[in-house]
Amino acid sequence: RTLNGQAANPTWTPLFDTVQIQANGITALGTLAIGVIAIAPSDPDVVYIGTGEQLTGYFGSGLYRLDNATQANPTLVGPINPNADYAGFVTSTFTFRAISQILVHPTAPGTIFVSTASGGGGITTHNGTNPPLVFPPLGLLGLYRSTNATAAADAVTFAKLAITDASIVNNDISDMVLDPSDATANTLILW
């Protein structure tokens, strides 16, 4: 992050390097692969970071949040990676997945939509490492919503949202946008 980005020689401070050394086990794999960053429109001090890169990139270890992003001492919160229960099989929602997009509600910084996609590991063309192919430990791909994303990392909850086509239960989402004609920010367009 830089606070003097318009200077001839801006100064940069690394904020994400510590995720490589987390000791929480599988729910905090630690990765520097970042697929998406989203700033809360109503509060630029809240920034969400989605780990993992879709398809040809590296899988992630969850969602992170930067609090006090524009202040002298920002705080990195995460990983935000709550457990999900799939008919009695409990696993982390985002582990081994790539977060492909994060949308923040225009007026509520704690309401976010997160889409997930498949990710790999290593240089996939030469010596790739694929995540386990079973549920669990993989969470289902798709669209998730949190209404308390500004809470402490272990208190944030997500609901997996159904997509219009009920047959789509576990599918990559490449991108999504909020419908600009919906002032309530309850309509998403995704593909």
Q: What is the pTM of this model?
A: 0.85
pLDDT for 158: 93
Closest CA to 98 of 140, 132, 50, 28: 50
Query: Six-digit token pair at 19?
Result: 């995720």
Mean predicted confidence (pLDDT) in 129-145: 70
Query: To the nearest whole number, what is the mean pLDDT of the chain?
Result: 82
- Cα torsion through 91, 92, 93, 96, rounded to 10: -100
What's the pLDDT band for 162 if we cut at 50, 70, 90?
A: confident
Query: Six-digit token pair at 51?
Result: 């780990």
**Position with higher pLDDT, 164 vs 188:** 188
Q: Is the dihedral of CA 168, 65, 57, 24 positive or negative?
A: negative
pLDDT for 72: 87
Q: Is the dihedral of CA 56, 62, 67, 72 positive or negative?
A: negative
Q: Which residues lie below 8 Å from residue 164, measured CB to CB, with a gap of 6+?
A: none
Q: Any idea which of 76-80, 81-85, 133-137, 156-160 has the lowest mean pLDDT?
A: 133-137
Is the distance from CB of 59 to CB of 121 less than 8 angstroms? yes
Q: Which residues lie below 8 Å from residue 13, measured CB to CB, with a gap of 6+?
A: 1, 2
**By percentage, how much of the chain surpasses pLDDT 90?**
40
* Digit-coded pLDDT (tens) for 34-65: 889 999 999 999 999 998 887 666 788 889 99
**Position with higher pLDDT, 91 vs 115:** 115
